Amino acid sequence: MLNDRNWLITETCFDLARQNHAETIFTIGNGYLGTRGAHEERYPGEERTTFIHGVFDDVPIVFTELVNAPDWLDLNLWLGGEPFRLTEGEILVYQRQLDLRTGRLSRRVEWRSPQGMLWQLAFERFASLANPHLLCQRVTIKALENTNLEARTTLSGETDNLNYKHWDWIGQGFGQNSAWLHLRTRSSGIELGAATRLVVSGGGNLQQSAWDTRNAPTLVVTTQLKSGEIVEIEKITAFYTSRETNDPQGTARRALETVPKRAWKGLWESHARAWQREWERCDVLIEGDDRAHLAVRFSLFQLLAAAPRQDERVSIGAKALSGYGYRGHVFWDTEIFMLPFFTYTRPEIARNLLSYRYHTLEGARKKARENGYKGAQYAWESAATGEEVTPTWVPHPSDRTQLIRIWTGDIQIHISADVCYAIWQYWQATGDDDFMIHRGAEIFLDVARFWASRAEWNAETGCYEFTDVIGPDEYHDHVDNNAYTNALARWQLKTALQVLAWLESHQPQKAAQLRDQLELDENELAHWQEVAEKIYWQEDAQTGLVEQFEGYFQRKQIDLQALEPRTQSIQSLLGIEGASEANILKQPDVVMLAYLLPELFDENKLRANYEYYNARTDHTFGSSLGPAIHAIIACRVGKPEEAYEHFMRAALADLEDVRGNAHDGIHAASAGGIWQAIVFGFGGLKLGENDWNTQPCLPTHWKRLAFRLKYRGQTLEIDLFNSSGKAGEE
């Protein structure tokens, strides 16, 4: 499936004004860590950041955050005695490129120094996918006259998270051409060992020295160049933490020692092979739309770059490993938006991500207990332990002297059902009974117990209700009986009973052990059944419209068209209260439900709800999670061009910074939604118990759409062609 087009993200001009956006776009990663695309040399305003999965530390307001690791990119050059800086001298050629095929970031520069000396430089870097502890850099330098050059690289423990410091120094030292550093996070006590090595080829009269500055061990090399001569500097860095080994410092140093002196070729080949294997399983092909094709691959690349392959105690945060937004916290974004991509193409990774929820079950139990409920209530924002880490108060974005109360951690409860939905989908797709028996079932049962204890009986309506919640549409908080929440809770309770019945017939011992461990008796199970059967549900029999929450239809009617053109969200325009009083949605809610539980919506009902809520959604400035889902449902109601408009809004969220916030990190949920829009929207894939089929709905200008996925042990190769606007299968 691989083709040669649409693999390169290219930047052709050096522009400090958009450097933070570019750092996000040029993030590279290997599932162990992610590094933003800062340059080797430093510039003011940069956010040179590396996040390692699971390395969280305490911080005020947001409780805990992923810690910015020591900077492995630092490489400062003095060319003929002048510092290499693109803000000085003259840039004659500049091109930076991320090759999505291999995750290799390269930069080619021709530079005239302030004193008029001409230089050609080529930088390359990759974070090895074959050995995720190794980080590789190379710079090739050519001078056009006889001169000298000096390269300095510092392994600095002085890195901070936007001015907040997390590292304590433990030790440092030097080896042959190498330096090492040993640090510990201040509150969580995670140790990190880093070691780096510089090898120079070419030039003459090579001199090497080391500066033993505390917390910033530095290697310095100087060499003489003849006109036209090429010097190559290879820098390899190793990172280990106490999450993987008891001796991170020694392990990092030893890892470097085992790498041969000229390591680039070998490391590069194994890395490139590992990426090739990923793309063989995951690639998507679009013919007839290069822009969309590149954007899709960019999204998949970022998901793959953040996907934990060796660690089942971490998950992917809302900004993956690419920026400070949401501080590395994990939301429903992972299970509902990103996970399907992994479930259907890389089930081993999906299993790791779901196992994170198993390992954080105690945190979810604690949250339920503290809120006065039974069972397990997953945190809206989760980090190392699964305890709730949503900030309670944050400064108002436009007036930082005011605080805003954030309620999502208290009452956005649908996430517990979302986690189960993803487990169920994974199980259906993979048949991984072992996961369901040993991990999934326990989650299902304890989450069902939470729902049953959270449900309130209303004698007047004769229904169980969920009052005071926030549904996916966060413009409306403190609402009663949100349709999405109620339907997912009902689904979860019923499915938990099904899972238990399955376990009882397939693994009676495990079922008995779980019943015993959770002290589950028949009365409680009967109560789950009753709650599930009597959960409040409201829809208009004539129109088929499902009311998003009780009283939604009475909210103030706002004509979105009348507010165009807009440059800000409805919430910024009307204020938090104003948006809450209005009938405008931040993101799909009933439409989201129609996607996840299609059996609740026949054709007419689907169309009615899509048309109604689509016209009332803040598509461009509301949540980035919405457009991909709208694209899928637009396909299902036969509107491919409208679907395409939604789809491109999602696809360009980062590359073209549609929402103006890509500097905070990539929109990882949107990236996952894009894959789902390709497969379940435009591709129209329907997976049945024993079969599958496609009902494609391609935009007219797409000539071909192809993708591959795994389903119940089979590899499905879907190749769809569009002739005269109609898609057919081949």
Q: What are the catalytic residues?
A: 474
Collapse the DSSP code of 619 into the 3-class scheme (helix H, G, I; strand E, B; otherwise coil) and give the result.
coil
- φ, ψ of residue 183 to 5 degrees: the values are -130, 165
Q: Which is nearest to 417 in space by CA: 593, 174, 226, 655?
A: 593
The gap from C-alpha 480 to its chain's centroid, in whole angstroms, comes to 31
Query: Least distance to ligand IFM from the beta carbon of 397, Å?
Result: 14
Task: Give the C-alpha distances (Å, rounded to integers) separating 603 from 112, 114, 598, 634.
Answer: 65, 68, 10, 12
Distances (CA, A) of 519 to 110, 445, 509: 71, 11, 15
The residue assigned the tokens 């807009």 is: 566
In a 13 Å sphere around the CA of 495, the CA atoms on its Cβ side amount to: 26
End-to-end CA distance of the chain: 14
Q: How far is the CB of 407 from ligand IFM (least distance, A)?
A: 12
Q: In the 8-state DSSP scheme, what is residue 177?
A: T
Q: What's the one-letter identity of residue 647? A: F
CB of 669 to ligand IFM, least distance (A): 5
| 481, 549 contact by CB (below 8 A) | yes
Of 354, 395, 402, 357, residue with least CA distance to 376: 357
3-state secondary structure of 159: coil
Which is nearer to ligand IFM, 318 or 469 (by Cβ)? 318
- Residue closer to ligand IFM by CB (options 364, 669) is 669
Antiparallel, parallel or unpaired: β 393-395 and 104-112: unpaired
Shortest separation between residue 664's beta carbon and ligand IFM, angstroms: 10
670 vs 299: CA distance, rounded Å? 8
Bridge partners for 225 per DSSP: 147
Q: Which is nearer to ligand IFM, 343 or 623 (CB)?
A: 623
* Residue 389: closest CA among 311, 317, 439, 444: 317
- DSSP one-letter code for 547: P
Q: Tell me how far CA of residue 446 lies from CA of 5, 362, 458, 520, 719, in angstroms.
A: 48, 11, 24, 10, 41
Nearer to ligand IFM, 622 or 683 (CB): 622
- Binding residues vs ligand IFM (CB under 6 A): 318, 326, 331-333, 472, 474, 623, 625, 669
Backbone dihedral region of 660: left (phi > 0), alpha (psi from -120 to 50 degrees) or beta?
left
436 and 498 Cβ atoms separated by less than 8 Å: no
Phi-psi map region of 125: left, alpha, beta (phi>0 left; psi -120 to 50 alpha): beta
CB of 299 to ligand IFM, least distance (A): 15
Cβ distance to ligand IFM smaller for residue 137 or 623? 623
List Cα–Cα distances, 653 to 103, 338, 397, 632, 649, in angstroms. Answer: 20, 15, 21, 17, 6
In the complex, minimum distance from the CB of residue 571 to ligand IFM, in angstroms, rounded to a whole number: 11
The answer to whether residues 619 and 652 touch, using CB atoms and an 8 Å cutoff, is: no
Coil/strand/helix, residue 491? helix
CB of residue 317 to ligand IFM, shortest distance in Å:
9
E strand map for 60-177: 63-68, 76-79, 82-83, 90-99, 104-112, 118-127, 134-143, 147-154, 160-161, 164-165, 167-175
**Between 149 and 669, CB nearer to ligand IFM:** 669
Question: Is 376 within 8 Å of 361 (Cβ atoms)?
Answer: yes
CA distance 470 to 474: 6
Least distance between ligand IFM and beta carbon 708 (Å): 28
Nearer to ligand IFM (CB atom), residue 333 or residue 387: 333
Instruction: Compute the least distance from the CB of residue 332 to ligand IFM, in Å.
Output: 6
Of 113 and 390, nearer to ligand IFM (C-beta) is 390
Which of residues 511 and 669 has its CB atom nearest to ligand IFM in the complex? 669
> What span, in angstroms and rounded, lies between the C-alpha atoms of 331 and 123?
36
Please tell me the distance from the alpha carbon of residue 435 to that of residue 445, in angstroms, as a whole number: 14
> Closest distance between ligand IFM and the C-beta of residue 340, in Å?
16
Q: Where are the beta strands (DSSP E) in 477-530?
A: none
299: number of CA atoms within 13 Å, CB side? 32
CB of 336 to ligand IFM, least distance (A): 9
| Phi then psi dihedrals of residue 205, to 5 deg | 55, 50
Minimum CB–partner distance for residue 412 and ligand IFM (Å): 8
Comparing CB distances to ligand IFM, the nearer of 318 and 436 is 318
The SS3 call for residue 193 is strand
Rounded CA gap, 696 and 166, in Å? 50
Compute the distance between CA of residue 664 and CA of residue 661 in angstroms, rounded to an integer.
6
Question: Length of the chain, please?
Answer: 730
CA distances for 174 relative to 76, 198, 200, 238, 467, angstroms: 19, 12, 17, 14, 61
